[in-house]
Amino acid sequence: MRRISFFIAAALTLSSCSLARSQSSVEPTQPWPPATGTVVAQTLYGRITSVEEGGYSIELRETPIPPDRPEAERAAAQAAIRAFAGAPSLTLTYSGLQRHPENSGIIVEVYDSPEAQFMVDVQDGHVVYMQAAVVPRLGPAATRLASSELKARARAFLADNNGCFESLVDRLQFEPGGKGDNSFFRWSNPEPDLERPWNQPTFVQVGIDAAGSIFGYIDSGICYLHVP
């Protein structure tokens, strides 16, 4: 497997939304809007608490962070990262557990290397995030690929590194974006999922520069989707 060139990823944004009343999350007999501090519901992702009166509430769904796994049990995660990067000798430093930056219902182990930061889903062992450490700017003489070629490379990267992408891609919504020499190709679930933390969109995204080098990767949980 060829080694991937890693560069810095763009800042991630965490979306939020108003707390919607629904039969699946709120009992019909419960007063509405709930008072501040009311526990509205308990879901797979944790407790949903009203934080503001008047119905304009933020969903707080937080999966409890478990204790760190013993070092021996983290070996598989490190092997997954090295396979993902195509770098069998990649030096990795364990940095701890946290919630996925784009899905607070997923707990990840964080590993740092000189080239990039990686996150591994502790539930299924897949690499779900990569943010490169440095993104050098392309010089004026650098070869810049057409957008169609960049998209094709991003898709090929996902086909090689995300086991769920190929089976879901035809049902996902493609959203291109970018700034300057950096492009971001995102495939997201077009249907809202009220059970997801913060009602975040479920997506997978690849960041790639104009020369075709991958510098970022985010999977907010497409393998957990139940897309008809």
Spatial contact of 110 and 96, defined as CB atoms under 8 Å apart:
yes
Q: Is the pLDDT of residue 117 over 50?
A: yes
Report d(CA 119, CA 115) in Å as an integer: 14
pLDDT, position 23 = 36
Structural contact between residues 227 and 189, judged by C-beta atoms closer than 8 angstroms: yes
Q: In the predicted model, is pLDDT for residue 213 greater than 50?
A: yes
What pLDDT score was predicted for residue 141? 80
Q: Are the C-beta atoms of 219 and 162 separated by less than 8 Å? A: yes
Q: How many CA atoms lie within 13 A of 157 on its CB side?
A: 29
> Cα–chain-centroid distance for residue 16?
15
The pLDDT assigned to 191 comes to: 77
Distance CA 180, CA 102 (A): 24
**pLDDT of 140:** 84
Residue 131, CB-side half-sphere exposure with 13 Å CA sphere:
11
Give the separation between CA 11 and CA 132, rounded to whole angstroms: 11
Specify the range with the lowest mean pLDDT, choosing from 17-31, 66-80, 101-115, 147-161: 17-31
pLDDT of residue 151 exceeding 90, the answer is yes
How would residue 5 be classed by pLDDT, with cut points 50, 70 and 90? very low
Q: Assess contact for 218 and 128: CB atoms under 8 A.
A: yes
User: Per the confidence metrics, is the pTM higher than 0.85?
Assistant: no
How does pLDDT run across 67-100, given as a tens digit for each residue?
999 999 999 999 999 999 999 999 999 999 999 9
Q: What is the pLDDT of residues 96-115, one digit of tens each?
A: 999 998 888 889 999 999 99
pLDDT tens per residue across span 36-69 = 666 655 554 455 555 555 544 445 456 678 999 9
Is residue 15 over pLDDT 90?
no
What pLDDT, on the 0 to 100 scale, is given for residue 35? Answer: 66
pLDDT at 64: 79
Would you state the pLDDT for residue 51? Answer: 57
Question: How far is the C-alpha of 154 from the C-alpha of 163, rounded, in Å?
Answer: 14
Distances (CA, A) of 92 to 116, 117, 181: 9, 9, 29
